């Protein structure tokens, strides 16, 4: 015998979005704005449009764009102090809090307001609007009004909300500090006990050893059991960079020292990230001088405007065939 159809509620089912003011509703339910139209034909259309409009270079215009990309996609544990733009906290009560960017926070929280009022802004979080800069700015804005001692929950960023470029001082330096673990989550990591200490230990155990090179910009060494790698985020336009790398590959000048090999590249947030395999014995310090020398060779190759030779075209095709898009 067929089951009776469940009786429909006279009220549409709606679940409040944590930390937000707009309830999550079905596409065919009434829009919560009170217009009387279905959600999909009202504010749902705006939300869907925002998701579709993917911003390929969300950090463009920010100081250290390449390092933003590296910390988002490649670096397990790092922090950067951020400076808010003038006027962002006008009207706020109390002392202006310090803001620190963190690669990732516990439970992938978008942000955390510590008991002392300082803010940790998580970079490795989900993007719901298609514009990672807007999502991060939304989390930062919410953190500024969150009571100390509380995380900022995930929510949908407003389609017309501010971006990081609107909230951060464009003249402030962006200097990442790479850490061996996630002790920066806590104000006093040494005092952690019980489940907190166990969670921190698990997180630290999963982090791949990573170091930032000092001789060149936005290059990161990482160590694995089988081989080490150098991953170098570059702001040179992709087609121009691939041509230059092909020229160097064709002449055997694309390595970062003996036993190293340029194996391909990533695409990440509109930038290209060449990757080298390194011998397991090659440390970050060992990469410094060879990387600086490669940077000089790359500058020279980028200045060449002649068409690629047959060997250079083959080298370029090989590089393109081993390119991976992260986002």
Identify whether residues 274 and 163 lie together within a single domain: no
Q: CB burial class (10 A; 0-12, 13-18, 19+) of residue 11?
A: exposed
Alpha-carbon distance 110 to 146, whole Å?
Answer: 12
Q: Which residues contact 97 (CB under 8 A, 6 or more apart)?
A: 113, 117, 118, 119, 144
- Give the pLDDT of residue 19: 36
50 lies in some domain: no
Q: CB burial class (10 A; 0-12, 13-18, 19+) of residue 38?
A: middle
Residues 231-288 have pLDDT tens digits of 999 999 999 999 999 999 999 999 999 999 999 999 999 999 999 999 999 999 999 9
Sheet strand arrangement including 261-268: 210-212, 219-223, 228-232, 271-278, 261-268, 323-325
- Give the pLDDT of residue 93: 56
Identify whether residues 175 and 239 lie together within a single domain: no
| Whether residue 48 has pLDDT greater than 90 | no
Residue after which a domain boundary falls, among 125, 154, 188: 188
105 lies in some domain: yes
Identify whether residues 220 and 173 lie together within a single domain: no
74 lies in some domain: yes
Cα distances from 100 to residues 79, 117, 249, in angstroms, run: 7, 12, 40
What is the span of the domain harbouring residue 320?
Answer: 210-325
126 token code pair: 């989900």
CATH number at residue 241: 3.30.1460
47 lies in some domain: no
Q: Which residues contact 324 (CB under 8 A, 6 or more apart)?
A: 264, 265, 266, 267
DSSP 3-state assignment of 324? strand
Percent of the chain residues past pLDDT 90, beyond the cut? 67
For 229, phi then psi, to 5°, come to: -140, 155
For 29, phi then psi, to 5°, come to: -85, 165
Domain count, the chain: 2
Residues 162-199 have pLDDT tens digits of 999 999 999 999 999 999 999 998 877 777 778 778 87
17 lies in some domain: no
| Whether residue 18 has pLDDT greater than 50 | no
310 lies in some domain: yes
| Whether residue 6 has pLDDT greater than 60 | no
């Amino acid at each position: 015998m067929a089951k009776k159809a469940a009786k429909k509620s006279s009220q549409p089912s709606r679940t409040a979005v944590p930390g937000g003011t707009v309830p999550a509703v079905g596409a065919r339910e009434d829009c919560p704005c009170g217009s009387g139209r279905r959600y999909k034909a009202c504010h749902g259309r705006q939300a869907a449009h925002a998701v579709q409009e993917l911003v390929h270079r969300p950090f463009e215009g920010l100081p250290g764009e390449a390092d933003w990309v590296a910390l988002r996609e490649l670096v397990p544990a790092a922090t950067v102090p951020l400076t808010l733009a003038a006027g962002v906290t006008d009207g706020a009560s109390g002392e202006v809090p310090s803001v620190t960017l963190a690669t990732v926070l516990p439970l992938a929280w978008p942000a955390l307001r510590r008991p002392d009022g300082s803010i940790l802004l998580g970079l490795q979080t989900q993007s719901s609007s298609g514009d990672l800069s807007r999502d991060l700015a939304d989390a930062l804005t919410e953190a500024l009004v969150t009571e100390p001692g509380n995380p900022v929950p995930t929510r949908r960023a407003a389609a017309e909300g501010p971006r990081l470029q609107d909230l951060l001082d464009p003249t402030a330096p962006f200097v990442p500090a790479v850490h061996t673990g996630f002790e920066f989550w806590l104000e006093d990591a040494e005092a952690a006990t019980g489940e907190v200490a166990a969670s921190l230990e698990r997180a630290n155990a999963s982090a791949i050893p990573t170091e930032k090179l000092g001789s060149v910009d936005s290059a990161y060494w990482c160590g694995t059991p089988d081989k080490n790698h150098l991953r170098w985020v570059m702001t040179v336009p992709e087609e121009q960079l691939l041509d230059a790398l092909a020229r160097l590959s064709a002449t055997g000048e694309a390595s970062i020292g003996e036993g190293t090999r340029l194996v391909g590249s990533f695409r990440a947030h509109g930038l290209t990230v060449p990757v080298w395999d390194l011998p397991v014995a090659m440390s970050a310090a060992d990469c410094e001088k060879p990387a600086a020398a490669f940077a000089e060779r790359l500058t020279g190759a980028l200045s060449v405007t002649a068409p690629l030779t047959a060997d250079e075209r083959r080298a370029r095709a090989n590089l393109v065939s081993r390119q991976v898009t992260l986002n």
